[in-house]
Amino acid sequence: MARLILLNKPYDVLSQFTDGEARQTLAEFVPHKGFYPAGRLDRDSEGLLLLTDDGGLQAQISDPRHKMGKVYWAQVEGEITDEALQALAAGVQLKDGRTRPAKARRLDSVEVWPRTPPIRERRHIPTSWLELTLFEGRNRQVRRMTAAVGFPTLRLIRRSIGPWDLGTLAPGESRMITVAAPAIRSASPSGPAPAHRSPGSRSTRSAPRSAASSRKGRGSSGNP
């Protein structure tokens, strides 16, 4: 069995354990040793980040050949149109090639935590939310896709990866589960277990600690 940490990565946090520029890293939120990210999230993106202590599981989650769907909620500038959603689902042409078919739908009601700092909104221009499910991982892919169809992304939250869901985790909170390794056969994506705050428990929200005691993360895939 392998251990897997589900972390709600806050905005402005790097998906690594060390940084030479004194920016926030995973070391402030993951006190457990021997865990490394299975994929990444950009510094300005939020939401689900998976970390594991098993190299085989890390590779399986990160490898796009497994076509593990990743669900994102994107707040975009303007009222997203049906035509734009259809284009996103069919695939859009980017500088590095056409994207694979995806799933795209409008979100009429979204309940999310406030972001600090808040997004910059332009006066008299509305915003809207959409859900985009991708089966590949390119650098800043969601942002480039929405911009390509005329709706720039203002805020981006990853809700789920494969069978694992963010659930009720607040920014900075995490919980640990065990899964069969390396095959992905067991998970509790949004079970009732609450996020605890004790570093010694199976689900933690740790107090910040210095980058000096952190370690460097490994493993990467495309950054939305």
Tens digits of residue pLDDT in 28-85: 999 999 999 998 999 999 999 999 999 999 988 988 777 789 999 999 999 999 999 9
Confidence grade of residue 184 (pLDDT, cut at 50, 70, 90): low
Backbone torsions φ then ψ of 139, nearest 5 degrees: -60, 120
> CA 146, 148, 151 angle in degrees (round to 5)?
45
Predicted confidence at residue 198, as pLDDT, reads 35
According to the model, what pLDDT value does residue 114 have?
Answer: 95
- Which of the two residues, 58 and 194, has the higher pLDDT score? 58
Give 96-110 pLDDT, tens digit per residue: 999 999 999 999 989
Q: Helices (DSSP H) in 118-224: which residue ranges?
A: 141-148
116/119 Cα distance (integer angstroms): 8
pLDDT above 80 for 17: yes
What contacts 5, CB < 8 A, 6 or more positions away? 30, 32, 35, 50, 51, 52, 174, 175, 176
Percent of the chain whose predicted confidence (pLDDT) is above 90: 71
Instruction: Report the range of poorest mean pLDDT among 39-43, 149-153, 179-183.
Output: 179-183
Quote the tokens at residue 206.
Answer: 């740790």
* pLDDT for 91: 97
More confident residue, 150 or 65: 150
Residues 6+ apart with CB under 8 A from 44: 11, 12, 156
Catalytic residue numbers read 42
Ordered domains of the chain (ranges, CATH): 2-64+162-213 (3.30.70.580), 69-158 (3.30.70.1560)
